[in-house]
Structures are given as C-alpha cells and as structure tokens.
C-alpha cells in the first residue's frame, strides 16, 4: 500500500533571507507580550489568586444569569462574576478571594449555596485559600525557569553551547508569547495552563533539536559551505518532518480543543498556540540564531571523530 500523498521534492525556501523579518516579528511579539503581562496582567484562575468557583446547573431549564446575579449581589461578597459555561443550563460563579483567612473563603461558599438553594445542582466547587495560591505561583514560576535552563543545559550537553543558547532563546520566546496570548485574550490562567506551558517548553524544542541535528550533520559533511547557505539547506531538508510531526500533535490537540470540554479549553488553546509558535520559532529564530552565535566547525568536527570538543572543556 502506497501513501496517498508523497512529498518528493525538497523545497528551496530562503529562510535566511526571511530571518530578519522573523526577528523583528518575534521582537514585537515578545515585547508586546511582556508589555501586556505588565499592564493588563493575567486572568489568574483561583489556583493562583485564591477564591472560589462554583459550577452550577440550573434544575429547571436554561439558567437565568440576570436573576442569579441579582440574588448574589448585595451579599457582601465583593465582586461576584457569573458566566455561561458549556450548555445554557450551566453557570460558572466566581467569587473573589474573601478578605481574611482561609475560613472566610469557606464561609462565602455557604452563603452562596444558602441563597441559591435548590434552584441549581452544584456540579463543582473549588475553594482555594490565599496561602496555597501564593505557593503555587512561586512553584510554577520556579518550575518554568528550571525547565528552560534544564532544556538549554541538555542541548548544550548534546551539542555545543551555541546550540544551547539558541534553543533556550527560542523556547523562552515560545513561553513568553504564550503568556502574552493569555494576557491578550484574558483566558483563565490556571494550573492546567501552566502544565501546558511546561509541556510547550519541552515539546517546542523537538523541531529545534531535529533541525540542529541536521545543521551539525551538514557542518561535518560540507566543511566549506557558507554558513547561511548551510542553515538554509538544513531547514529545507528537514522541513517535511517538521511539518508532519507538528501536524500529528496538532491533530490530537485540536481534538482536545473541540471535544475535551470546558475544563480543558485553556490547556488546549495554550498547547495549540505553543505548537504553532514553536514551529515558527524553530524555523525563523532558533536556526538563524546559529548564524550569529556560530558554532565552531572545528569542535563540531572533532566531536564527530570522538575527541572531546575544546569548547566544552573551556
């Protein structure tokens, strides 16, 4: 049985010709993301900010948000937000973090449940006290930074330090722009989203590794080839696998986005964006960066012959 689609021809796209455009675009995206994060901030879910969410389903027909809002306003619970969630019968009630200690959060839930009574079924109740939220933000930030360094270190260990720098910068770019997207669209940023960002950090590097691998191989094979030509050649030769590997993962994520339900929405959006931006950054950031922080041909070649590379010992 033969494939229905065969990519026979190796493309000849001049990536290096486009790389400055890519750098500018990425710079805009990164600066914009940082700017958005600083000015608009993230729409932190209760995992991080503390507070309460109650997912309720109306027991008689579609939920009347206005009526419920009227019931819940004036309970002295601060800003109560209601939004539809999935089906028309479902409502997501969000309470701010209540002033006071952890017990105050619990009390607020009871007040709401008393007020709404039996008009709704409580499908989900999550209460996170201020203490846990703060700890999770700290642990999340540390984990993300550690991930970036661990990945860079691994690439450095497997290649040369120049590759490690390139990998880290492009992964950083992917992470920052994902956060920027969440700030721009104000999608809830919760623990699952953070898991997505860490996964992106681990996954978006895959194409980069494939490309770097080829750059290294080409460097050994064509010792005198001009460096930008060498990068172009490597990118074009690996383009089909870059696109195909990304497509299979994107298919799985798309299916999660469409069928996975509300709880996984934030996760799926982050993953999808991460996959797309990760591919872009592998092609237009990670590879062209090598042109500027050029790995030494001598050490790459020496490594091939089994001797320790001088750059690693220095």
Give 272's DSSP letter.
Answer: H
| 153: number of Cβ within 10 Å | 14
- Which 143-182 residues touch another protein, going by CB under 8 A? 143, 146-147, 150-151, 154-155, 158
241 binds another protein (CB under 8 A): yes
Q: Measure Cα distances from 131 to 102, 194, 290 in Å.
A: 8, 18, 44
Does residue number 125 form part of the binding site for another protein (CB under 8 A)? yes
100 is a contact residue toward another protein (CB under 8 A): no
- Tell me how far the alpha carbon of residue 62 is from its chain's centroid: 35
Listed ranges 26-34, 58-66, 203-211, 277-285: which one lies at the site for another protein (CB under 8 A): 203-211
Instruction: Give SS3 for 224.
Output: coil
Query: Nearest-CA neighbor of 188 among 92, 91, 76?
Result: 92
Q: Which residues contact 173 (CB under 8 A, 6 or more apart)?
A: 26, 29, 30, 277, 281, 285
Q: Among 59, 247, 294, 312, which residue sits at the site for another protein (rule: CB under 8 A)?
A: 247
Beta carbon nearer to another protein, 18 or 143: 143
Contact segment (CB under 8 A) with another protein among 11-19, 189-197, 226-234, 282-290 equals: 189-197
Least distance in angstroms from the C-beta of 68 to another protein:
18
6 binds another protein (CB under 8 A): yes
**Residue 25, Cβ density class (10 Å: 0-12 exposed, 13-18 middle, ≥19 buried):** middle
Q: Does 104 bind another protein (CB under 8 A)?
A: no
Position among 18, 250, 276, 301 found at the interface with another protein (CB under 8 A): 250
The window from 15-23, 116-124, 222-230, 276-284 that contacts another protein (CB under 8 A) reads 116-124
SS3 of 61, please?
coil
Is residue 218 a contact point for another protein (CB under 8 A)? no
């Amino acid at each position: 049985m033969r494939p229905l689609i065969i990519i026979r021809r190796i493309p000849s796209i001049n990536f290096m010709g486009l790389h400055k455009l890519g750098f500018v675009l990425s710079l805009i995206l990164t600066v914009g993301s940082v700017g958005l994060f600083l000015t608009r901030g993230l729409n932190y879910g209760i995992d991080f900010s503390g507070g309460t969410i109650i997912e309720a389903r109306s027991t008689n027909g579609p939920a009347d948000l206005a009526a419920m809002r009227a019931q819940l306003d004036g309970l002295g619970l601060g800003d109560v937000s209601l939004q539809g969630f999935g089906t028309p019968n479902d409502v997501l009630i969000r309470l701010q973090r209540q002033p006071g200690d952890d017990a105050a959060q619990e009390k607020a839930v009871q007040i709401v449940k008393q007020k709404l009574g039996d008009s709704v079924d409580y499908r989900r109740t999550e209460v996170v006290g201020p203490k846990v939220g703060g700890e999770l933000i700290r642990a999340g930030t540390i984990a993300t930074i550690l991930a970036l360094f661990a990945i860079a270190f691994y690439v450095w260990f497997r290649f040369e330090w120049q590759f490690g720098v390139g990998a880290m910068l492009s992964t950083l770019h992917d992470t920052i722009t994902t956060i920027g997207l969440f700030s721009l669209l104000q999608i809830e940023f919760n623990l699952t989203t953070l898991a997505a960002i860490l996964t992106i950090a681990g996954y978006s590097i895959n194409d980069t590794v494939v490309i770097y691998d080829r750059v290294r191989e080409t460097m050994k094979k064509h010792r005198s080839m001009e460096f930008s030509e060498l990068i172009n050649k490597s990118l074009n030769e690996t383009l089909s696998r870059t696109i195909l590997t990304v497509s299979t993962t994107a298919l799985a994520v798309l299916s999660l986005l469409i069928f996975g339900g509300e709880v996984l929405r934030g996760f799926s959006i982050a993953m999808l964006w991460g996959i797309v931006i990760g591919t872009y950054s592998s092609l237009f950031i990670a590879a062209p960066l090598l042109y500027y922080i050029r790995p030494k041909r001598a050490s790459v070649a020496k490594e091939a012959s089994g001797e320790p590379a001088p750059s690693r010992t220095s």
